[in-house]
Every structure is written in C-alpha cells, then in structure tokens.
Amino acid sequence: MGVLCGVMGLALGGIVSSAWRVQVEDAPEWRDMAEKQRQRRLHVEPKRGTLYDRNGASLAVSIEVPSVSADAVELLRGVEGDAAQETALRDASARIAKALSLDANDVYAKLATRRRFAWIKRRITGDEAEAVRDLADAKRQPHPVRGFSIEGEGHRYYPGRELAGPVLGFVAPDAQGKDGLELALDEDLRGKVEEVRGLRDRSGRLIFEGGEETQALQGNDVVLTIDEGIQHVAERELDAAMRTYETKGGSLAVVDPSTGEILALASVPGYNPNDYTESDVDGRRDRVVSDRFEPGSVMKPFLMAGALAAGTLKPTDSINCEHGIYQIGGITIHDTHLNDVLSPTQILAKSSNIGALKIGLQLGEPSLYATYRRFGFGEPTGITLPGEASGVLRPQGRAWYDAETASASFGQGISVTTLQLAMAMGAIANGGRLLEPILVKKVTDGRGAIVRESSVHVRREAIPPGVARTVAEMLTAVTEDGGTAVEAAIPGYRVAGKTSTAQKVDPATGKYSTDRFTAVFAGFVPAEHPRLVVTVVLDEPMIGRYGGDLAGPVFRRVSEASLRYLGVTPSSSPGSAGGAGKISSVKRDSDPADAMLAMMKPPQPVPLPAIPPTAQGPLPPGGARVPDATGMPAHDALVALSKAGFVPRIEGWGRAVRQSPAPGTAAPRGSAVRVVFEPAS
C-alpha cells in the first residue's frame, strides 16, 4: 500500500505540474491559439469621404460596387481525396470564369493556392453579380458552387468627368489617393480602419456579438473653395484657346483677392480621373502649381510697386526709353514699340523693357530682389496640393550683376508659377496684403461636425495700401486705348492688368528662342473693388504670340462670365467710357441652375472698334484688298490674311463670323485685321 500510494502521489504530482505549466506558464500561448481558433478579425475599410465644391456640389464621391472573392477551403469542404478536390477546383474555375468572362486557367491558379480569401474579379457589373449568385443558388443549380461571395467595395467616382481633374487627382485600386487633393488629403478622406472581432462558426463565417463600439466607418468630407461654375467656364475657355492657338499647354487661376480663396484652377491638357489609366503623366500634371516659366513683362507692376514704395520713383516722373534701343553690359535691349520719354503709367501701358530696366537699376539689386520676395516669388505659396514648385529668382549664393538686374526688371532670368503670379497680383488688388491661398474651406467628419476650418491668413504686407491703389490705377491704362491689352477690356467694368510675351529658352542652344513664347495676362476686375484675380498662361502658341491678343481674350471671357455668375453687375451710369464708373454688387439670389445656364451662354459679341482703312476704290501705294475670312477656321483665316500681307488679330474660337476692316476694303499692307470667331452652335 505504501509503494502504491507513493506511485500514485508521484503521478498526481506530475499531473499537477503539467497542469501548472499548461494553465499558468504557457497560458498566453495557449490563449492566443484558442482565440485564433474561435474568433475572427475583420478589418473594415471605411467609406472614403466626399469632395464638395463651395456650393455643395459633389466633385468626388465613393460608391459601392460588387466584387467577387473566393474561399478555397469552403469550396473543398466535404470533398475527399486529391483527385476529387482537383476535379472540384477545375469545375468551379470553369463555371465562374464563364460567368465573369475570365480565363479559366487564371481562376484556377487563384483557387489552387487553397487560401481562405482571394479576389477573383473586382468591380463587376450587375449582370455578372447576378450570374455568380445563380451559380450558388441550390434551387437553380443541381450542383451549386460554394465558397464564392460578392462583397461591396468602394469605388471612386467623379461626376464632373474632366472637371478639375489635375486638381482632384485619383484613387488607385488599393484605395490610396494618387495625385492632387486625393493624395494631399488622403489621411482625412480615408478615415480610420476599424477592426471588428466576433466568433466564427465551423465554416469560418463571422458571427457578430456585442462588444466595444466602433467609430463611424466613414472618412471625413472636404469642402473646397472651388466654384464648380467658375471652374467649368475657366476650363472651357482655356481649352478653346489651346485648340484655337495650337498651344502646347495652358494654365489659369481665379482667386478672390480679399480672402485668398481659390475659385478655379484649370490646366490643359487635362484628363478624366474616372479613366486615369488612359491618361499620361503630362495630362495629369497640375500646371498651375508645378510648371515654372519666365514671366516676362507681367513682372513690371511689382517692380513699379517696389520702386514707388522705396521712394526711388514717382508717378509723375519722366523716363527716357531711348527710342527702343539700349545697351547694358554688352547686351542690347530692344522694345517692341519705339518710344522716347514715357511716364511710369505709359511704361506699363506700352510695356517698355528699357523703361522698366532703368527703374530697376535705380531701385538697386538688393531692393528689387527683396520686392519680388515680398510678393511671394521664389517660395511656395503653401497651397494644399502636392508638387508645388517654388520658382527661381536668382542663382544661389550670389547677387545679380547689372545686366541680370536689368533683365529681372522685365521678367527674364527668373521663373514663377501661375499661382504665384495670381497671389502676387491679388496683393495689389487687396491693398498690399500677400495672402496664403485657401483651397480647403473646411473638413467635416461623418456626423457633420467641423474638424477644422480655414480662415484668411496674411503672410505679409507686400506694399503700403497707398502704393497698391496707385499701381492698380496705373494698370488700368494697359486695357484702355493705346495699351497692350485692349482685348482684355470688359464693357462696363474697369480692368487692371498686365500682359507678357516672354521668349522661352531653347534647351538645345541655351539661348532665347525666336519662335517659342509664353503668352500671359494677369489682372483683376473691377479695378475699384476687385472681386476676381484671373491669371492666364498659354505655353508656346503656334498661332500668334502676344499676351494681349491671345491671353487677354481668355481673361475677358472668363471674368465676364464669372462676374455675371457672381451677380456683379456693370455700371449703367452715363458717361462711363471704356467701362469706367462705379461697380455695383448684387446678391446672387437666383436659382443656381439658372445662374449656371446663364453663365454657359456664349458671351455677347463685343463691338469691333473702328480701324481706319482706306476707303473702297483705288489701292494706295503698298496697299491690298482685305480678303474675306468669314466662315473660315482660325488656321485658314490666318494663312489667307498673312498671304495678303495683313496681320491677323484673332478673337474667340470656332469659325470666323465677322471681321474689321470688311472684306474687299483697301488697306495698307502690314495693318491689323481683327477677326471674330464663334462656335458653330
């Protein structure tokens, strides 16, 4: 009995020791194993937030589309033997491939891994989803297919198609934002991935049970400052200009100068984010913030502002422009128009490079550089978009030489972006304050609560308010008779702005090209109480070259439609010549759809100014008859007028509807013929 009790005691001690090891020492390991066997974790991807314009119109939304996945373990459950399982896999692959229009071998390759989860086909059609359900329906199929499930999967949809494509960006199949705001705001839009736990049955299906509450399964919604209506008209006119003038590309920015809010950012060529795989990198690039270019004469207003603020220039000064030819540092500077003595206002109106460089040299290199930096050139604007370029003011580590200071005075040897130019012009329009651009108005969570909201942020005071008002008044001369941008004038409004026709550097020679230009117009309207700043940049136009003739009409049409859309009416007071006079603003209380339709209407024809031709009759010495260009497309009209010895001035797009001088009129060779084009519709 003693021996038996001793043996039983040793056995009981061994059992207790083993139990201690299993239940206490190895408890965490066994607990994890048990949890893995009895519980299933489901990672729930939240619905991506929506992008809205400032008026609540959806620009990017997420919709649920069906996708088919397979559980190979469930498919083979109850099938015994390798041969039988192989046959079951082949049969299921063939039937599913037929329903989904796939290759049976590709489906088999996914099932042969025998994993619990594998995507078979993502984002299927409704008919395909119904076909898969029929295969699993035991009432319709004598041998239903098991293990396949249809799950809703988020898909990004852009209702406006190409509208603001480079600004919005796109979302890849892995739900990651790519390009544009989808990338910049990806963390906000995606939301927080939740992990839901629950018991699972013998087939591995999740059985939900009461547990901890999860957060709202939805990303944050984002309200932009973009106005869908203004964005549409900006893209329409910019695209028309690209096709009419056969440009390499173009960009346009519309900004509210009082707040810094971005109303429109347009780039051509663009792309449709719904079909981003069919686009190339060049079409997806947001040229407004990423493309740098030499601005040319459009920098002269900022030069004037710096000189007036520093006291080195007065509005009443007279500057000798050397009859259009001036040498400095072994370089000869030419003016397009031959002028002698001009005032600062006339230098802007006639865009004299020689007058500008003399003002720049008198201001001095340090002050000129500081002026450009105060207006935000040479540094990012801080907009909520990826890939923004900062531009280049001068080589790092050294100051400008005199010749470089002279060229920088009229915008050569430096580079800027379209958005930088718009924000700098906005500083002149709003009284001298350089604002930070606002593209995201507010961010709200899934319950509608505001997460964060943007407000006006003044980066710095670029110039004193008095100087800003003076320069704004000087810039109105650019769009009046005798200025370089009469095509940018809007009847009933006073327009302040500046043109530029900047030569591009030929990468092959490193010198300025004689046939590659950038046509630019930057301005604001109404001049007295600015509501809009619009900057237009046309890259390498093949038909025409001057910023006033090419970019000016785009500015006019975009501004006119936008002002009408915003309810800013022109002055109707008598005696307001050239659009001068008070501007009255009215609240836009009409239906948004009606406002949109009104904006979409083609702009009313602008009366052609009288161009004094020689009267009908005998030809003057060196004269010719003006050919009839009506009914022709832009290219044919350009060729016909050029062959006859005239300089065509093109306005609009489509086919020619009228011209001045009239066809058959006798006029001197080399004189301008203005041709107005309108769409066939």
Least confident stretch, 13-22, 55-64, 185-194, 432-441: 185-194
Q: What is the pLDDT of residue 577?
A: 38
Nearest-angstrom CA–CA distance, 568 and 580: 15
What is the chain's Cα-based Rg?
Answer: 34
pLDDT band at 234 (very low <50, low <70, confident <90, very high): very high
Most confident by average pLDDT, 129-143, 233-247, 565-579: 233-247
* Catalytic member of 267, 279, 297, 415: 297
Mean pLDDT, the chain, as a whole number? 84
Of 652 and 127, the one with more pLDDT: 127
List C-alpha distances in Å: 291 to 288, 504, 517.
6, 13, 15
Helix (H), strand (E), coil (C) string for 138-177: CCCCCCCCCCEEEEEEEEEECCCCCCCHHHHCEECCCCCE
Please check whether residue 582 is in contact with residue 630, taking contact to mean a CB–CB distance below 8 angstroms: no
Domain ranges of the chain: 72-146, 608-681
Least confident stretch, 145-149, 297-301, 411-415: 145-149
Most confident by average pLDDT, 35-49, 183-197, 245-259, 316-330: 245-259
Nearest-angstrom CA–CA distance, 424 and 459: 11
- Bond before 269 cis per omega within 30 degrees: yes
Mean pLDDT of 626-636: 84
DSSP label at 411?
T
Q: What is the pLDDT of residue 209?
A: 52
Q: What is the pLDDT of residue 289?
A: 96
Please check whether residue 641 is in contact with residue 673, taking contact to mean a CB–CB distance below 8 angstroms: yes
DSSP label at 615?
P
Q: What is the pLDDT of residue 73?
A: 81
Mean pLDDT of 337-362: 92
Least confident stretch, 181-185, 275-279, 537-541: 275-279
Q: What is the pLDDT of residue 222?
A: 95
DSSP label at 447?
T
- Which residue, chain included where needed, has tokens 């009759």? 617
Q: What is the pLDDT of residue 580?
A: 39
Most confident by average pLDDT, 169-173, 247-251, 319-323: 247-251
Mean pLDDT of 264-286: 91
Mean pLDDT of 321-329: 87
User: What phi, psi does 280 have (nearest 5°)?
Assistant: -110, 175
Quick check: 336 pLDDT over 60?
A: yes
pLDDT band at 594 (very low <50, low <70, confident <90, very high): very low
In tens, the pLDDT along 68-118 reads: 888 888 888 878 888 888 888 888 888 888 888 899 898 888 888 888 888
Mean pLDDT of 359-379: 94
Mean pLDDT of 421-434: 96
Q: What is the pLDDT of residue 617?
A: 53
pLDDT band at 211 (very low <50, low <70, confident <90, very high): very low
For 657, how many CA atoms within 13 A lie in the half-sphere containing its CB?
A: 14
Q: What is the pLDDT of residue 196?
A: 59
Question: Which CATH number fits the domain 608-681, given the four candidates 3.10.690.10, 3.30.70.3270, 3.30.10.20, 3.60.20.10?
Answer: 3.30.10.20
Q: What is the pLDDT of residue 110?
A: 87
Of 165 and 647, the one with more pLDDT: 165
Give the rounded distance of the alpha carbon of 478 from its chain centre.
28
Give exposure, 120-131, as e/b (b: 16+ Cβ within 10 Å).
bbeebeeebbeb
Quick check: 169 pLDDT over 80?
A: yes
User: What six digits make up the tokens of 248?
Assistant: 């390499």
Residue 350 buriedness (CB in 10 A; 0-12 / 13-18 / 19+): buried
Find the Cα–Cα–Cα–Cα dihedral 681, 535, 538, 602, rounded to 10°: 10
Residue 12 buriedness (CB in 10 A; 0-12 / 13-18 / 19+): exposed
Mean pLDDT of 339-357: 92
Q: What is the pLDDT of residue 80?
A: 83
Nearest-angstrom CA–CA distance, 172 and 156: 9
Of 669 and 179, the one with more pLDDT: 179
Least confident stretch, 126-130, 494-498, 529-533: 126-130
Mean pLDDT of 2-31: 88
Strand partners, 538: 250, 519
Nearest-angstrom CA–CA distance, 100 and 119: 12
Q: What is the pLDDT of residue 620?
A: 64
Instruction: Report the DSSP pairing between strands 341-342 and 194-200.
Output: unpaired
User: What percentage of the chain has pLDDT greater than the value 70?
Assistant: 86
pLDDT band at 160 (very low <50, low <70, confident <90, very high): very high
Quick check: 168 pLDDT over 80?
A: yes
Q: What is the pLDDT of residue 414?
A: 93
Beta carbons within 8 Å of 619's beta carbon, 6+ residues apart: 625, 666
Examine the residue annotation and report whether 297 is marked as an active-site residue of this protein: yes
